[in-house]
Amino acid sequence: MRKKVAIIGALVFCAALIEFSCSFWNVSDKIYPGVFVENIDLSYLTKEEAKQKIEETYLVDQKNRSITTEINDNEFEISFSDLGVQYNTDEIIAKSFAEGRDKNIFKSYIRLKKKSIDEFKLSFNLDEEAFKQYIDNIKCKACRCSEDAKIEINNGDIKVYSEVIGLELEEDKLREDIINKLMEDHGKDNILVVGEIKEIIPRILEKDLKSIDSVISSYETSLYNSGESRNKNIEISTKAVNGTLVMPGDEFSFNKIVGARTSNKGYENAKVIVNDKYQDDVGGGVCQVSSTLHNAIIRTDINPTERHGHSKLVSYVDKGYDATVSYGYLDYKFINTLPYPIYIEGNVKSNLVYFKIYSAKSINSRRYEIRTVNEKLLKPHRIIQEDGTKGIGYTEIKQQGEAGWSADIYRYIYEEGELVDKKLIYNVNIKPKDEIVIIGVKK
């Protein structure tokens, strides 16, 4: 009896072993059952058969397909070939064939018998440079840059030019949409993608500039006895400032607008004040331009945010009303605190440099008067320096003393002839220059 049981057991084991071996033999060069690529059943197919089936189903016409991007009334087309679209057929077949074979032999057998479902998706590569050129071509033809509205004023004649609304491609979204279509659509038809354009509204609009209709302030200074080189420097820098538009809340910077004063720009040597002394330097005279502009600005309701006085008195504006500049060191700045934009017109004419500030006529309902108040004379000290090499009775004035001066600059505001307010604009403090006297002490 035991012998019979042993024989039966041996036969069962042999049968199982044969079935086990046959199961693997049948798929030795074939893909395991239950493996799908893009809904194509690759069960029991060889690699070559699987590749042929995928290509016949999806990829046979890929080279003849194209992508069209539609934007408004424009269409932009590129072929799959030009885009360099290449699907990963070989890679996906290798993965399909390896499915179930990366486990131990018993787990592979269980996978073979249970016929579980494993799905793979095709992916692709494309020529990134060709893709970029395609997108750039769309941007070039379907888009445009925004342009601010512009204003020109010549001798009181005001012209306003309308803004240009920009058109900007939703580039990232278009790239994503095209990629998604290529991943999802493996059919034979061409691919259509609708691109999106957004409007870019310029910062400066025509309606804003239409408010500029009147001169609200002006100031001029004389060029009498100013040399030829100095006048040339003044003309160049005035021309640079002329036509400047300052929107509400924006900051004006003289150095930023005018730039460095160099000989390459036509500036010449002329007198400048450095450490209380006059010396020649490129761009001499530009401070008269910044000072003239300063006096026009403070006669509106705008205060300077950066202003520096000279170390010596200048002849072209009253004491305390100058504004010296030096590129990279000293600047003249202000923020347009008015509710309207301002336009700066500057010119050199008839031996005068002048600036006119244009803005809304309603600002002229107020009149501004600039006054110097709280003036104080700051007396210099007399400093005695003894010189042992000089005899008693020797006296020499090494440095002439100069009185200093301090004051407050105020803006008085009138409406219908009545004073309604006054505001401090800035303080002036010119330090005195001490007198230095040398006396001899040698006996």
Residue 204 forms part of a structural domain: no
Q: Are residues 354 and 247 in the same domain?
A: yes
Q: Are residues 348 and 379 in the same domain?
A: no
Number of helices and strands in the chain (H, E): 11, 27
* Rounded alpha-carbon distances, angstroms, from residue 216 to 1, 296, 359: 126, 9, 6
Cα gap 223→231, rounded to integer Å: 7
Residue 141 forms part of a structural domain: no
What is residue 19's three-state secondary structure? helix
Structure tokens at 382: 């007399």
- Quote the crossing angle between the two packed helices 286-297 and 228-241, to the nearest 10°: 40
DSSP 103: S
Q: Are residues 299 and 372 in the same domain?
A: no
The predicted structure's pLDDT at residue 12: 45
The predicted structure's pLDDT at residue 28: 65
* Rounded alpha-carbon distances, angstroms, from residue 223 to 2, 286, 314, 325: 133, 12, 13, 18
Radius of gyration of the chain (CA): 43
Residue 244 forms part of a structural domain: yes
Q: Are residues 349 and 439 in the same domain?
A: no
Q: Are residues 239 and 283 in the same domain?
A: yes
The predicted structure's pLDDT at residue 92: 82
Cα 369-372-375 angle, rounded to 5 deg: 165
The predicted structure's pLDDT at residue 100: 64
CATH number of the domain residue 405 falls in: 2.20.230.10
Residue 101 forms part of a structural domain: no
The predicted structure's pLDDT at residue 104: 57
Q: Are residues 264 and 287 in the same domain?
A: yes
Closest CA to 380 of 366, 363, 365, 399: 399
Domain span including residue 312: 212-359
Q: Are residues 369 and 395 in the same domain?
A: yes
The predicted structure's pLDDT at residue 150: 97
Residue 134 forms part of a structural domain: no
Q: Are residues 382 and 349 in the same domain?
A: no
Q: Are residues 317 and 346 in the same domain?
A: yes
Q: Are residues 401 and 327 in the same domain?
A: no
Give the chain's domain count. Answer: 3
Cα gap 262→269, rounded to integer Å: 10
Q: Are residues 408 and 296 in the same domain?
A: no
If you count them, how many residues does the chain have? Answer: 443
303 close to 414: Cβ distance less than 8 angstroms: no
The predicted structure's pLDDT at residue 102: 59
Instruction: State the 10-residue block means of pLDDT for the chain, 443 residues long.
Output: 53 44 56 79 82 74 83 90 83 78 58 66 85 92 94 92 95 92 78 93 96 96 91 96 97 97 92 75 92 98 95 90 95 97 96 96 94 95 91 90 93 95 94 91 85
Q: Are residues 354 and 384 in the same domain?
A: no
Q: Pairing state of beta strands 214-222 and 352-359?
A: antiparallel
What is residue 99's three-state secondary structure? coil
The dihedral built from the CA positions of residue 99, 101, 102 and 105, taken in this order, carries a sign that is positive
